[in-house]
Amino acid sequence: MRFRGLFKEFSLTQQLFGIVFLFIVFFVSFFFMFLSWNIDGFVRSQMYGILRRTQANIVYNYRLSVPTESLYGGNDPNIVHIIFSQEGKMTASDNIGSLSRELIEELRQNALSQQINTRDYISGFDDQKILYTISRINMTTAIASTISSSYRDEFKNTLLNSVVNIMVIVVSVLFFLLMIWVAYLIHPLNQIRAYIERIRRGEDAELKVDRRDEIGEVASALVAMQIEIKRSEQLKEEMIHNISHDLKTPISTIKSYGESIKDGVYPYETLEKSVDVIIEHANRLEKKVQSLLLLNRLGYLASEGVEVGEIDMVDVVSKAILSLKVIRPEIKIETNLQRVIYTGSLEPWRVVVENLLDNAIRYAKSKIIIVLNENELSVYNDGPPMSDERISKLFKAYEKGDDGQFGLGLAIVHKVVTAYGFIPSAYNADKGVIFKITSKRPKKGSKK
């Protein structure tokens, strides 16, 4: 745990270099442990191979009855050859003086007693081990060949040095390539960090990361997010300006009418009519404020997962129709309602249905059709079609509508239904527009 906490304190560059270093140390350690376990066996097999090859040449010369002075050819000074016969005769190469009497006697005994054609031997212990090979020339003669330990050690050291040099070159090249890769990885991350820092300070920032991997995707997402944030901020400022303007009129009217009544003057004929004007503008003001408060409250509902109950949607739809159809009584409202229960709270669902119906009444030419079943609620109106751009931004807050106003109704619809596990959508139909609220989990056996 302490190591992991310390590791987290390092920068990404330090972490990557640390991982690379540990990997190289582990690889080199493993390689040399493996090499140390196998190098002696490899060297031994190579020495025996050399002995057998030189013996083969000498046996060939012996069988051709080559004179003794030419029998051993250009003999390697590190290799001693001795030919033993059953009659006790012994013929050796010139460098036999490097062998001890004990070793020569051991070679003679093994050569005369060996029954198989060729056999490898080890004499002595630890670093004093002597390698030799005995091969039979014929039934009465055998040749014993031994190689000096210094030659074996020299071969072993040469082999180790070669391996070490190769390893150093490989590790150096690998480390260099990893350094390039780390720099290639860290540079765009530093660009992203600088970009975020400039945005945090409110400065103009530009991010260009020409990559197609995950880092490039993150950079593109950050740029897209910044563009969307700027657009949303601009829309919010425009909305606040427009809402302030919308609120200014009823407030001014209420204030002027109230001051006039206080002075005994009735701006709109009688006291009762003047008070009705004040009430009308107060209702307008209350509706706008409630829309803003509801939007924020629904955001809390979606983020906190507030527990909700079950609502009879037929009653909600029926009450909404009853309260809104007086706005345009000439519009025909047709319904196809199944008695269904939706998850949620009464007030948010009432606002959803009223906003959808209010939107339909505003644009309908002559007819509205409302369909309700256990999987969806749809509201159709025979008004003009919407553009694709308008449909894509329909449920976003602070978006300006076709009439140039910043309505929050459909944004509230989106907040409510997504919080309750539904999906809002809208599309152009044949001679009209349809708004739908669809359950994310349709009932089994339901028709699409």
Domain 307-439 class in CATH: alpha beta
Contact 244, 223 (CB under 8 A): no
Q: Residue 261 corresponds to which amino acid? A: I
Question: Could you read off the pLDDT of 65-102 as tens digits, one per residue?
Answer: 888 778 887 777 889 999 999 888 888 888 888 888 88
Dist. CA 428–CA 407, nearest whole Å: 20
pLDDT tens digits, one per residue of 27-62: 777 777 776 667 778 888 888 999 999 988 888 888
pLDDT at residue 224 above 70? yes
Mean pLDDT of the chain: 80
Q: What DSSP assignment string belongs to 210-244? A: ---SHHHHHHHHHHHHHHHHHHHHHHHHHHHHHHH
Are the beta carbons of 42 and 50 closer than 8 angstroms? no
Report the pLDDT value the prediction gives residue 286, as an integer from 0 to 100.
Answer: 79
**Token pair 């860290």 is at which residue?**
186
State pLDDT tens for residues 240-289. Answer: 765 676 677 678 888 888 888 888 887 877 888 888 888 887 887 777 77
76 DSSP 8-state letter: -
Could you give the angle at the alpha carbon of 177 between the alpha carbons of 173 and 178, nearest 5°? Answer: 115
Q: What is the pLDDT of residue 297?
A: 63
Query: Which residues of 33-163 form beta strands (DSSP E)?
Result: 79-85, 90-92, 118-123, 130-136, 141-147
Question: Thinking of the domain 214-300, which architecture would CATH place it in?
Answer: Orthogonal Bundle (1.10)
Is the pLDDT reported for residue 330 higher than 50? yes
Give domain limits for the chain: 2-154, 214-300, 307-439
Question: Could you count the other beta carbons within 10 Å of the beta carbon of residue 348?
Answer: 21
**Alpha carbons 221 and 218: distance in angstroms, whole number:** 5
- Count CB-CB contacts under 10 A for residue 382: 19
| Confidence at 408, pLDDT banded by 50, 70, 90 | low
For helices 346-363 and 313-324, angle between their N-to-C axes, nearest 10 degrees: 40
Distance of CA 61 to the CA centre of its chain: 72
CATH fold of 2-154 reads Beta-Lactamase (3.30.450)
Strands (E), 388-447: 422-429, 432-439
Tell me which of 361 and 215 has the higher pLDDT. 361
- Residue 285 has phi, psi (to 5 degrees) of -65, -40
How does residue 446 score in pLDDT terms, banded at 50, 70 and 90? very low
pTM given for the model: 0.43
